[in-house]
C-alpha cells in the first residue's frame, strides 16, 4: 500500500499511513459508534461463524463481532501495524469477549490464511489507501479466503458529500478533487468509494447490496466528537497547503485549523459536520 501523504504529521502508524494510528482509530470509532455498530449488524453475521476482521486497526469492531458469532464462533484479526495487533491482544486478555479472537500482523494484499477459511470478511475504512490494482488484489484475496456463499463487506467514507457547516458546501469536495489530481492515493481512494459496488461486481461477487448511512454531528459536540472533527480540520489544512487551491478556500482551511480560536466554526450554534459512510456487501458465488 502506498503512503498517501509522506509529509503528514497526523496519526501516522508504523506503516507510514496517515490517520491510521491506534489513538486516531479509537477516537474515530467512539465518535461514530452508534452508526458503526448498526452498519456491522446490518450485514447479518450469524452465530458460530468464523469472521475475518481485515485491516482491523486497534480492534474497535471486535467486541460486537464476538457478540454476533457467540461462543461457538471465532474472529481472526489482521493488520499491517504491529502496534495495533499488540493493542488487540492486550484488549482480548483484559476483556470478556463472547468468542475467541486471534490477531496477527499481515497485509490484506497477501492474506496468510487457507482458502475458504471464513464465513465472512469485514474491512472498514481501508480501501481509501489502495491503488486500483491493490483494490483488485484485495478483493481477490477476500474471495479466496471466504467460503462459497460467504459474505464480503467493505465499509468506507463517501467524501463527495462531506461538509463542515456553515462553510461553502463544496469546500471539502474541492480539496479532495485537488489532492486526487495531484496524485494523492488516499484522496483518489476516497472519491472512488461511491463506485465500490461496481468493484465488488467485477470481482465476481453476487447479490450486491449497499447501506449508506448519513452521519451528522451538531453543536454542541461531545468531547470525543470535538476531538475527531478538530483532528480532521488540522489534517485537511496540512494537506491544503501542499496543493493549488483558490486563495479564499485556503484561508478558510487556515481559519478552521485554528481550533482553539473562540470564533472557531465548532463554536457556532449552527455548526454541523456531515458525511456519508457506506457498507458494500457481496456474496461469494
Question: Distance (Å, rounded) from C-alpha 186 to C-alpha 175?
Answer: 12
Q: Find out whether 122 and 170 touch, Cβ atoms under 8 Å.
A: no
Side by side, the strands of the sheet bearing 206-218 are 101-105, 74-79, 50-54, 118-124, 146-165, 272-283, 206-218
User: Which pLDDT tens digits describe the chain residue by residue (285 residues)?
Assistant: 433 333 334 445 455 555 546 677 899 899 999 999 999 999 999 999 999 999 999 999 999 999 999 999 999 999 999 999 999 999 999 999 999 999 999 999 999 999 999 999 999 999 999 999 999 999 999 999 999 999 999 999 999 999 999 999 999 999 999 999 999 999 999 999 999 999 999 999 999 999 999 999 999 999 999 999 999 999 999 999 999 999 999 999 999 999 999 999 999 999 999 999 999 999 999
Q: How many angstroms separate the Cα of 220 from the Cα of each of 135, 185, 224, 273?
A: 38, 34, 12, 11
The predicted pLDDT at position 24 comes to: 78
The predicted pLDDT at position 17 comes to: 54
Per DSSP, the residues of 142-174 read HHHHEEEEEEEEEEEEEEEEEEEESS-TTHHHH
Helix (H, G, I), strand (E, B) or coil at 279: strand
Q: Find out whether 122 and 51 touch, Cβ atoms under 8 Å.
A: yes
The predicted pLDDT at position 1 comes to: 42
**Residue given cell 458525511 in the structure block:** 275
Question: Hey, CA dihedral for 84, 88, 91, 97, is it positive or negative?
Answer: positive
CB atoms within 10 A of CB 83: 15
Architecture of domain 22-157+184-218+276-283: 3-Layer(aba) Sandwich (3.40)
Domain ranges of the chain: 22-157+184-218+276-283
Question: Distance (Å, rounded) from C-alpha 76 to C-alpha 74?
Answer: 7
Q: Are strands 146-165 and 272-283 parallel, antiparallel or unpaired?
A: antiparallel
Burial class (CB in 10 A: 0-12, 13-18, 19+), 67: middle
Measuring CA to CA, which residue among 252, 240, 230 is closest to residue 7? Answer: 240
The predicted pLDDT at position 147 comes to: 98
Measuring CA to CA, which residue among 246, 250, 133 is closest to residue 185? Answer: 133
Q: Strands (DSSP E) along the chain, which ranges?
A: 50-54, 74-79, 101-105, 118-124, 146-165, 206-218, 272-283
CB atoms within 10 A of CB 224: 16
Helix (H, G, I), strand (E, B) or coil at 121: strand
Question: Distance (Å, rounded) from C-alpha 57 to C-alpha 125?
Answer: 10
The predicted pLDDT at position 8 comes to: 38
E strand or H helix at 50, and its extent? strand 50-54
The predicted pLDDT at position 23 comes to: 77
Amino acid at each position: 500500500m502506498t503512503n498517501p501523504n509522506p509529509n503528514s504529521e497526523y496519526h501516522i502508524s508504523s506503516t507510514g499511513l496517515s490517520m491510521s494510528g491506534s489513538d486516531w482509530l479509537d477516537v474515530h470509532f467512539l465518535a461514530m459508534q452508534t452508526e458503526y455498530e448498526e452498519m456491522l449488524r446490518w450485514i447479518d453475521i450469524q452465530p458460530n461463524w468464523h469472521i475475518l476482521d481485515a485491516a482491523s486497526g486497534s480492534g474497535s469492531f471486535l467486541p460486537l463481532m464476538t457478540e454476533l458469532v457467540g461462543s461457538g464462533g471465532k474472529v481472526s484479526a489482521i493488520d499491517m501495524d504491529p502496534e495495533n495487533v499488540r493493542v488487540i491482544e492486550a484488549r482480548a486478555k483484559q476483556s470478556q469477549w463472547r468468542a475467541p479472537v486471534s490477531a496477527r500482523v499481515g497485509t490484506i494484499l497477501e492474506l496468510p490464511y487457507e482458502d475458504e477459511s471464513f464465513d465472512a470478511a469485514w474491512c472498514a475504512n481501508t480501501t481509501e489507501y489502495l491503488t486500483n490494482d491493490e483494490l483488485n488484489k484485495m478483493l481477490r484475496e477476500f474471495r479466496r479466503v471466504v467460503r462459497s456463499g460467504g459474505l464480503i463487506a467493505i465499509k468506507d467514507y463517501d467524501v463527495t458529500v462531506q461538509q463542515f457547516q456553515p462553510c461553502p458546501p463544496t469546500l471539502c469536495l474541492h480539496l479532495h478533487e485537488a489532492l486526487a489530481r495531484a496524485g494523492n492515493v488516499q484522496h483518489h481512494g476516497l472519491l472512488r468509494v461511491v463506485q465500490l459496488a461496481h468493484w465488488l461486481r467485477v470481482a465476481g461477487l453476487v447479490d450486491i447490496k449497499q447501506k449508506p448511512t448519513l452521519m451528522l454531528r451538531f453543536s454542541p459536540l461531545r468531547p470525543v466528537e470535538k476531538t475527531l472533527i478538530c483532528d480532521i480540520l488540522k489534517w485537511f489544512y496540512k494537506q491544503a497547503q501542499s496543493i493549488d487551491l483558490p486563495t479564499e478556500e485556503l484561508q478558510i482551511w487556515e481559519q478552521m485549523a485554528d481550533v482553539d480560536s473562540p470564533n472557531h466554526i465548532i463554536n457556532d450554534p449552527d455548526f454541523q459536520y456531515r458525511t456519508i459512510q457506506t457498507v458494500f456487501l457481496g456474496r461469494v458465488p
